[in-house]
Amino acid sequence: MADDRYDDAPLTLNDGTTLPRIGFGTYPLKGEDGIEAMVSALENGYRHLDTAVNYENEAEVGEALRRSGIPRAEVVVATKIPGRFHAKDLALQSLRDSAQRLGLEQLDLALIHWPNPSRDLYGQAWQALVQARQEGLVRSIGVSNFTAEHLRRVIDETGVTPAVNQVELHPYFPQPQMRQVHRELGILTQAWSPMGKRNAPFAEPAVAQAAAAHEVTPGQVVLRWHVQLGSMPLPKSATPERQRANLDVFGFELTDEEMSAITALGRPDGRLFGGDPDTHEEM
Ligand SMILES: NC(=O)c1ccc[n+]([C@@H]2O[C@H](COP(=O)([O-])OP(=O)(O)OC[C@H]3O[C@@H](n4cnc5c(N)ncnc54)[C@H](OP(=O)(O)O)[C@@H]3O)[C@@H](O)[C@H]2O)c1
């Protein structure tokens, strides 16, 4: 019997709104194939679609939502402001343009994609998000790839704490310090590349043994590990069977020993592509 702290009840954000326990990553789904994969994800039960201006698929996300026939209010659509639009006016325009491409009146969640600290404009992008929320263009606001220093700065400058920080998080890079910072500040940890993308740890004994013990797949073990850590994973899959399996992680519970063994796969150089937010910049 799974612990009810880890059931699939929605996650409550610091602004009182909720997100599903697991979301769907949409990068790099594009074109008609991309729409079909997203419609399949919605039909298979996903109710949170994670996109970004830089994924160049916001139109496809909006089309998939309409084609699925699922009521608009039941699906959370999240997008991100790219680095080239951090100046406040550009950030506000970026949000309006995203809403138009998605065909939505309101964005459910909008994030700053990367802080790009050398340009020192992420504070303005945060001010734009605070204003957009006041104006009703966006329901919930957050950030992505922010360090503790970036988080504390935007909170100090505006008095508004991001609801979400979406960071790289998988067994080879389990981010214990960032998760602790998020707990202290009341910020939900969203996990990008939650499986570890092309470098998934499925053959690691810690993962494979837990999969055998619970008669589930290694992918389900990794996603269950996220749930028990308290992170919201955003797995991407274009494969309907994997889409279903990746949501089906609420019928078993990893033991403390299994959790520790998976977290112990972490290593300092465990990032997928060197995406250190202090130095890696994306425009
Ligand atoms: N904020 C950021 O800076 C940032 C950066 C990167 C990603 N993201 C977001 O995070 C999402 C997910 O990240 P990601 O796509 O990089 O990595 P991921 O979800 O960890 O891995 C996706 C890969 O794993 C495969 N896969 C999915 N489920 C599987 C399963 N059960 N068994 C075996 N293989 C499986 C998929 O293949 P198939 O599709 O062939 O099934 C795909 O190749 C993105 O789509 C995006 O929304 C955000």
Domains of the chain (ranges plus CATH)? 4-263 (3.20.20.100)
Residue 59 in this model has a pLDDT that exceeds 90: yes
Residue 84 in this model has a pLDDT that exceeds 90: yes
Protein residue closest via CA to atom 34 of ligand 1: 219
Residue 2 in this model has a pLDDT that exceeds 80: no
Q: Which residues contact 50 (CB under 8 A, 6 or more apart)?
A: 23, 24, 25, 26, 27, 78, 166, 190, 234
Q: Is the dihedral of CA 126, 127, 130, 136 positive or negative?
A: negative
Confidence class for position 5, pLDDT limits 50, 70, 90? low
The ligand 1 atom nearest the CA atom of 194: 20
C-alpha of residue 243 to centroid of ligand 1, in Å:
11
Residue 108 in this model has a pLDDT that exceeds 60: yes
Protein residue closest via CA to atom 8 of ligand 1: 192
Residue 20, CB-side half-sphere exposure with 13 Å CA sphere: 21
C-alpha of residue 195 to centroid of ligand 1, in Å:
7
* Distance, CA of 124 to CA of 90 (rounded, Å): 10
Question: How much is the pLDDT for 7?
Answer: 81
Protein residue closest via CA to atom 27 of ligand 1: 237
* Distance, CA of 26 to CA of 57 (rounded, Å): 8
Q: Which of 36, 116, 192 gets mutated to test ligand 1 (max ligand atoms within 8 A of its CB)?
A: 192
pLDDT per position as a tens digit, 238-252:
999 999 999 999 999
Surface-to-core class of residue 17, CB atoms within 10 Å of its CB (0-12 exposed, 13-18 middle, 19+ buried): middle
Output the furthest CA–CA distance in the chain (Å, rounded).
Answer: 54
Pocket (CB within 6 angstroms of ligand 1): 25-27, 50, 113, 144-145, 166, 192-197, 217, 219, 234-239, 242, 245-246
Protein residue closest via CA to atom 46 of ligand 1: 25
E-strand ranges in 34-137 read 48-50, 76-81, 107-112
Q: Is 55 a catalytic residue?
A: yes
Q: Say what percent of the chain tops pLDDT 90.
A: 97
